[in-house]
Amino acid sequence: MKQLSRKRLSWRHPDLLFWLCFIALNAILFLPTFLLNWPETDRIRLDGSLLRHPLHTLFEVFLWRDYPDPFRVNLELPILLALWVNVAWVRRGLYRLLVMAVYFVTLVYYLYESVMLSIYRVDPVFYNHYFLIKDGLAFLLDHLNLPASVYLLAALAVVAAVAAVVWAMRVLVDWKIPDQLSRGSRIFLGGLAAAVCLSAVTYRTVLADPRMVVSSVTFKLEKNITASLALYHNITSFDDSEAREAYDYRGFHLARKPNIYLIFVESYGSVLYKRPDWREAYLKLLDEMGATLTKDGFHMASALSTSPTWGGGSWLAYTSALFGLRIDTHPQYLSFLDRYQAEAPRYPDLGAYLRGQGYYYLWVTSLAVELKDSQWEQYKTFYGVDRWLRYRDLHYNGLHYGWGPAPPDQYVLGYARDVALKDVDQPLLLFYITQNSHYPWLPLPEIADSWEALNVASDAGDPVAEEVTDHQVRRQNYLDAIHYQLDMLTGFMQQHAGEDAIFVLVGDHQPPRVSRRADTYDTPVHIVSRDAKFIANLRPYGLEPGLVVADETAALRHEGLYSLLVRALVQTYGETPSHLPAYLPAGVVPPDWISAESGESATH
């Protein structure tokens, strides 16, 4: 048995084969992050800049690069292999199995890290992403609507990839490799191991950062576990007394109560300002939208606001805005969802304040795939709404589009306002997050003259959303989706031009697949009303007149929108407008509250 386990393979060119396998296995670790960000990434520029800025170029090549690429070195792999080929006693026992096990653990972790960094733009934290995967994976698979053949091909590809990796690993830790490798290869491998060890000693505090050229799974795991423990402590020790004090608005009564439409626009990100072709088309669209609304007597104020999430996790964005508290991890959200149910006192959020002023709170969800009634009831209690309008309540028989899939947003908003609320004799707070600009941004519905005209079935069935591989086509699809949303919302506001209403349009997060980490977490915010005084009262807080933002530095944060809106409402419509609640730009920040944005305790 021992002889079988030590079967020796003879390689014709052992040095070449060894280094090819080493380079391939090392590059595979970094390839997912590179591919998930392609082509929205920078490159190493080995041109004339090497002569003009030699130190900066060398720094990028050997130490730190802000953009992903596969030309990096894993710390553990060369150290383990250097011991294997240079130290005879380690070739006893199960060392080769240890090397393979460490590599596969590293590969799995790097895949996980690449998804978190590329799609959600957050550092990997086990405690956070366990709940996110547990709750979200099944939901995601249900909504992808992929045929079984796709899953079969994916499974076969995974099996083939694992087999190739196993074969390459067997080459590196073959029993005969130490004898067949040349002395030069063994010395070079030992030198590489010494170099990465020196890097570990010198840069220990940042070696877990994915921007380091030398990358260590050991340091990454240490950082992840530390952050997970801190997040767990953060959640279990949360005290809402500071929030209750800060958002105690019982003394601030409204004499006039305009309807409020709080609409989060899916994937509406500030990246639209950051690409020359998008910027030109986007500014033109905003100018046309602004001219149309101005003609109908509307006034507008806009700014950029920093969202707590990137590329997904819309519920974190709108809950942070409603609660006036930065909630940027799924476990934080779940802890709130469990805590603020019927038997517990309500959290003092925006909905609770406005309901206390006599508002009717309607929440609209349009996804065709529904949750259990018990889950809907839990969400209804959590957000404290008067009525939760679900897909089944929309009486929709027309075509469905994109993610979800879902009816056209024009239909949903029209039905909610004109049908569901026709017998409500109270001022209105309506919340909706749009669906038709959700990835993959196609197919898009048409904008009809009336929302009722969209409720027509078709013998051809729903249009199919196919995955787009061409990046330029994907970029155009995203721009088209935003164009649709802003055109649709302009029409919706026009239809209610005579209504005493405030329209608050907020981007939830940057769009995935067509933006990158350097684009920040900022999203546009537009507040529209026919009341010029209300809009003017917003400007001291960084909102600019109109829909275009000249200053592309975020003036707001999502968690600050709650106190901002209440302050502006009281200042404009309050019984005692001279007595105003405080504006909290960063919301309430309880002691030791951990922010995923920085990975550190937040402070006031």
Q: Is it the case that residue 332 has pLDDT exceeding 70?
A: yes
Contacts of 474 (CB under 8 A, 6+ apart): 440, 441, 468, 513, 514
Percent of the chain topping pLDDT 70: 89
> How many CB atoms sit inside 10 A of residue 426's CB?
15
pLDDT in the model for residue 55: 60
Q: What is the mean pLDDT of residues 350-365?
A: 97
Q: What is the mean pLDDT of residues 522-532?
A: 98
Q: What is the mean pLDDT of residues 70-95?
A: 91
In this structure, of 360-369, 462-471, 523-532, 566-575, the range with the lowest mean pLDDT score is 462-471
The class (CATH top level) of 258-560 is alpha beta
Which regions of 283-384 does DSSP assign to beta strands (E)? 299-306, 360-364
Q: What is the mean pLDDT of residues 181-186?
A: 93
pLDDT in the model for residue 193: 95
pLDDT in the model for residue 60: 65
Residues 126, 132, 138, 140, Cα dihedral to 10°? -120
Q: How confident is the model at residue 445 (pLDDT cuts 50, 70, 90)?
A: very high
Q: Give residue-wise pLDDT tens across range 164-174.
A: 999 999 999 98
Q: Give residue-wise pLDDT tens across range 540-550.
A: 999 999 999 99
Q: Give residue-wise pLDDT tens across range 279-324.
A: 999 999 999 999 999 999 999 999 999 999 998 899 999 999 999 9
In this structure, of 58-67, 193-202, 567-576, the range with the lowest mean pLDDT score is 58-67
Q: How confident is the model at residue 7 (pLDDT cuts 50, 70, 90)?
A: very low
Residue ranges of the chain assigned to CATH 3.40.720.10: 258-560
Q: Is it the case that residue 358 has pLDDT exceeding 90?
A: yes
Paired tokens of 499: 């209504």
Cα gap 416→362, rounded to integer Å: 8
Nearest to 504 by CA among 316, 247, 268, 279: 268
pLDDT in the model for residue 135: 67
pLDDT in the model for residue 4: 38
Bigger pLDDT: 45 vs 415: 415
Paired tokens of 524: 């546009």
Bigger pLDDT: 139 vs 267: 267
Q: What is the mean pLDDT of residues 269-275?
A: 97
pLDDT in the model for residue 157: 87
Q: Is it the case that residue 69 has pLDDT exceeding 90?
A: no
pLDDT in the model for residue 518: 82
Most confident of 150-159, 240-249, 451-460: 240-249
Q: Is it the case that residue 257 has pLDDT exceeding 50?
A: yes
Q: How confident is the model at residue 52 (pLDDT cuts 50, 70, 90)?
A: low
Q: Is it the case that residue 466 has pLDDT exceeding 90?
A: no
Most confident of 56-60, 128-132, 348-352: 348-352
Nearest to 328 by CA among 88, 467, 97, 129: 129
Which residue has 């940027």 as its token pair? 328
Paired tokens of 419: 């049908």
Q: DSSP string of 173-205?
A: T-TTHHHHS-HHHHHHHHHHHHHHHHHHHHSGG
pLDDT in the model for residue 345: 84
- Backbone phi, psi, residue 527, to 5°: -120, 125
Measured between alpha carbons, how far is residue 447 from residues 156, 406, 485, 492 in Å? 42, 15, 10, 11
pLDDT in the model for residue 139: 58
Q: How confident is the model at residue 599 (pLDDT cuts 50, 70, 90)?
A: very low
Q: Please give the mean pLDDT across all residues of the chain.
A: 89
Q: Give residue-wise pLDDT tens across range 93-149.
A: 789 899 999 999 999 999 999 988 877 777 899 988 887 777 666 655 555 556 677
Given a contact cutoff of 8 angstroms between Cβ atoms, the answer to whether 326 and 586 are in contact is: yes
Q: What is the mean pLDDT of residues 523-539?
A: 98
Paired tokens of 300: 């507008």
